[in-house]
Amino acid sequence: MALFSKKNSTDVVLTGDRPTGQLHLGHYIGSIKNRIALQDKYEHCFYMIADVQALTDNASNPDKVRKNVFEVALDNLAAGLDPKKTAFFIQSQIPEIAELTVVFLNLVTLARLRRNPTVKAEMKQKGFGENVPAGFLVYPISQAADILFCDSNIIPVGEDQLPVIEQDNEIVDKFNTTYGETFRKIKPVLSDTPRLIGIDGNAKASKSLGNAIYLADSKEEIERKVMMMYTDPGHIHASDPGKVEGNVVFTYLDTFDTDKAGAEELKRQYRKGGLGDTAIKKHLIDVLENVIGPIRERREKLAKDPEYVRAVLSDGTKKVQAIAKETMTKVRKAIKIDYFANKDYAV
């Protein structure tokens, strides 16, 4: 593609968050950590705050979405996404994404949208039934526009997003066969832990289930949540042999404890008996505080400087606006709606 001229740097990384709440350890381990690693490997990296997507199921809550644009920007900056390497931008400020969405809407059937497992699961969770907002049902299509308007092809996401990326690749194929080779295929990049279980043992840590530990949580909040964690209900006395499988404390240690040998030794002792729940929970609190402590500290500092955060978002958005214009020129030409691009255009 001609958008980027540097040698060996045609790959473009793009990722995004819906600004519907603060981000938690599930986001961190499923996607944010990967974004931070990828920004050092790739020349072109974008981070989108998907406010238009957030509005698809929060249409009557614009204040909530606006407030959380700032919160998720803080979370990502504090976690280490560096605006010098990754352009931060706000989806709604790129009208070309909306324009591209309208073009893509014609390439996907309603039946296919209804079959998308991610959309299906989210619709069920939100209790929409037949009263699903049209914008919500079609968000995988606007997500294709999010990705393709800047020619991105490498997408770090959580596991739940795979069916969306699959559908977006179908849009790439359909567009290219209908209007000529224009977009390239996109690759999702999963982390080693694409999904984190909740502190209650539920399959997924999520805001709506109230079972997540947030990147902004205080030390006391972390302590309180770890102390609530589901362990082995059969492990009543410290001397009893305990189960490690399905035990949330050990699952979190497997994910966050950098001392792998130490974690294995704790498991051995717990299985054998003689290691109490409080002891392993205390250890996990230290491990999590090591991850979250520095993020929380940077977050608090950044929160006191909203002008800086605003400048990061506005600079990144300007950079991306220019790219969006180039893509749409190409797309309008491909679908033959570039009427006034040339003086001699023959209708």
Is the separation of the CB atoms in 133 and 157 below 8 Å? no
Identified binder of ligand TRP from the candidate list 11, 12, 13, 14, rule CB under 6 A: 14
Q: How far is the CB of 126 from ligand TRP (least distance, A)?
A: 13
49 binds ligand TRP (CB under 6 A): no
d(CA 33, CA 28): 6
Asked whether 98 and 333 are in contact (CB, 8 A), the reply is no
Q: How near is the Cβ of 54 to ligand TRP at its closest, in Å?
A: 9
Task: Check residue 186 and report its DSSP letter.
Answer: -
- 157 belongs to the binding site for ligand TRP (CB under 6 A): yes
| Beta carbon of residue 29, minimum distance to ligand TRP (angstroms, whole number) | 14
174: buried, middle or exposed (CB in 10 Å: 19+, 13-18, 0-12)?
middle
Q: What is the CA radius of gyration of the chain?
A: 22
Amino acid sitting at position 314? S
Give me the least distance between CB of 304 and ligand TRP, in Å please: 28
Find the binder of ligand TRP among 13, 29, 50, 154 (CB under 6 A). Answer: 50
Q: Which residues pair with 187 in a beta bridge?
A: 154
Rule CB under 6 A: is residue 48 a binding residue for ligand TRP?
yes
Sheet with 86-90: strands ordered across: 86-90, 44-49, 12-17, 154-156, 187-189
Say whether residue 19 binds ligand TRP (CB under 6 A). Answer: no
Among 11, 13, 15, 292, binds ligand TRP (CB under 6 A): 15
Q: What pairs with residue 188 in β-bridges?
A: 155
Question: Toward ligand TRP, which CB reaches closer, 48 or 248?
Answer: 48
- Among the listed ranges 64-72, 76-84, 154-162, 193-201, the one in contact with ligand TRP (CB under 6 A) is 154-162
Tokens 């600004």 locate to 19
Closest CA to 292 of 214, 224, 226, 207: 214
Does the footprint of ligand TRP cover residue 146 (CB under 6 A)? yes
Piece of the chain touching ligand TRP by CB under 6 A; list 10-18, 99-107, 169-177, 197-205 = 10-18
Q: Select from 101, 143, 191, 317 the one that contacts ligand TRP (CB under 6 A).
A: 143
Phi-psi region of 336 (alpha: psi -120 to 50; beta: other; left: phi over 0): left
Nearer to ligand TRP, 138 or 147 (CB): 147
**Shortest gap between Cβ of 161 and ligand TRP (angstroms)?**
6
Least Å distance, CB 240 to ligand TRP, is: 40
Contact between 77 and ligand TRP by CB under 6 A: the answer reads no
Token representation of residue 259: 């001392």
Q: How far apart are CA 263 and CA 218, in angstroms?
A: 24
Query: What is the nearest approach in angstroms of ligand TRP to the Cβ of residue 244?
Result: 30
Question: For binding to ligand TRP (CB under 6 A), which residues are involved?
Answer: 14-18, 48, 50, 53, 143, 146-147, 155, 157, 161
